[in-house]
Structure 1
Amino acid sequence: MNFFEQTGKVAIGSRLRMLTDKVTEDGAQIYKLYNIDMQPKWFPVFYSLAQGEEKTITELARDIGHSHPSVSKIISEMLKKGYVKESKDKTDGRRNLVSLSKKGVEISKEIEDQLIDVNAAVEEISAQSQNKLWEAIGEWEFLLEQKSLLRRVMEKKKERDSLKVQIVDYKPEYQEAFRALNVEWISHYFTMEESDYKALDNPQGYILDRGGYILLALYEGEPLGVCALIKMDDGEYNFELAKMAVSPKAQGKNVGFLLAGAVVEKAKSLGAAKIYLESNTILKPAINLYHKLGFQKVAGKPTPYTRCNIQMELVL
């Protein structure tokens, strides 16, 4: 069975490289067919310069979508062949400009027939194929520019990992995990405070017995995230979203979003009208998560935490 039939689309990079190698190999032979001493990899730079305008290496790299080091190397190779020349910018002596040499201009004229024939051959292949590769490449380039393949794979991984996350209610056997995850998280960024110990050392009395709730996120059975709803009786907010901590091991598994979303849904099921939280702006991923859930910045409430520099609310 053909290798690519076995692997499917996951081997797209390898297949594209093979196609590129095949076309590049033919390209080298095509230049010989027309008695032109040129390497296929030079063509984008050569063609750009053949339009007649002097350009810096940076401008060339931007025009053809290559890296600066790659274009610099190609220019060095073309200089040795005598196809290009360099000169100082008259308006800025710090800039080197590149243009075709007299020999390069002659080559640009000799290559015209070759380009006509190559274009005709590519058109012939397109006419004989059901799927239009050139148009498809353009579509892929556009789509990958909007969102890279890496980004898309990261999202698919997160979706798949999310299926392994289970949100469960607090049980006494989870007290150690509730405390450890919060201590790990708080100590990493800040200093543990008296109010932290009150909640973490006695979650039953400080949170649960007062009408609050604690949820845990289990990933393949292991507690990797915790979050609490602390009952508030200030006449404005029903609950405070607090003591949310996610293990570094859960990074990229969507644990934080699933856990926070479950806590919000829990508050809704209890008839809450508003949820309050306190955080710190150095925790950008957390702040972004809260914004994504619909929390908005508020100010003015007294806080027991020295680390708090932002207060937010969610109107349900």
Structure 2
Amino acid sequence: MKKELIALASKVTDLSNKLIISQLEKNNINGIVPSHGSIFILLYENEQVTMKDIADFVHKTKPTVTILVDKLVKMGYVKKEKSKTDSRVTFVELTQKGKDLKPVFEEISNNINNIIYKNLTTNEAVQTEKTLRKVIANLNFEDIV
């Protein structure tokens, strides 16, 4: 039995991230990194979310999310606003500049998916995704500890 799954998954992540950055730069989008992708996905699906919502969605700590979101604020893609009823809660929403990136992100996503699935049959693609979901379930932290 081969035991290269972690190394292979890491290689897929590294290569995918390089491809994402390359595609972003090709579209003159600089400063956004793959870690921002999930934040944009959540905000494209929800007009306004809390920092906690983002942390839960991207599976990152609140301090890490704060750094990622603050960078997006600085670049003008999102804005933050404190809750009027609970000062512990901060809301995040896209600016128009952030909303304008959606078609570019969709094109980049389609390009990357075409590259990833290029030499896979439909059955291979389905089986690969199914297997990876099983591995993720096996690694569910709450079940391990």
CA contact (8 A) 2:20 2:108 kept: no
In structure 2, the gaps of 5 or more residues are none
Specify the alignment match of 1:109 in structure 2.
103
User: For residues 133 and 71 of structure 1, do their structure 2 counterparts lie closer, same or farther at Cα, with a shift above 3 Å needed?
Assistant: farther
Of 70, 81, 105, the residue aligned with 2:64 is 70
Of 116, 133, 137, the residue aligned with 2:132 is 137
How many Å apart are 1:129 and its aligned residue? 7.9
Q: Amino acid of the residue matched to residue 137 of structure 1? A: L
**Is 1:28 the equivalent of 2:17?**
no
User: For residues 127 and 67 of structure 1, do their structure 2 counterparts lie closer, same or farther at Cα, with a shift above 3 Å needed?
Assistant: farther
User: For residues 136 and 43 of structure 1, do their structure 2 counterparts lie closer, same or farther at Cα, with a shift above 3 Å needed?
Assistant: same
Q: Secondary structure at the match of 1:66?
A: coil
Structure with more helix by fraction: 2
Identity of aligned residues (%): 21
Specify the alignment match of 1:42 in structure 2.
36
Runs of 4+ with deviation above 6 angstroms:
none
Of 46, 49, 72, the residue aligned with 1:52 is 46
Of 114, 121, 135, the residue aligned with 1:120 is 114
Structure with more strand by fraction: 1
Normalization by structure 2: what TM-score?
Answer: 0.79
Q: Amino acid of the residue matched to residue 44 of structure 1? A: S
In structure 1, the gaps of 5 or more residues are 152-316
Backbone CA RMSD of aligned residues: 2.6
Q: Secondary structure at the match of 1:50?
A: helix
Q: Compare CA radii of gyration and give the structure with the larger one.
A: 1
User: For residues 39 and 129 of structure 1, do their structure 2 counterparts lie closer, same or farther at Cα, with a shift above 3 Å needed?
Assistant: farther
How many Å apart are 1:84 and its aligned residue? 0.9
Which structure is richer in relative contact order (CA contacts within 8 A, separation 6 or more)?
A: 2
Cα distance in 2 between the residues matched to 1:32 and 1:129? 33
CA contact (8 A) 2:77 2:98 kept: yes
Specify the alignment match of 2:11 in structure 1.
18
Aligned residues: 142
Cα distance in 2 between the residues matched to 1:104 and 1:69? 22
CA contact (8 A) 1:86 1:98 kept: yes
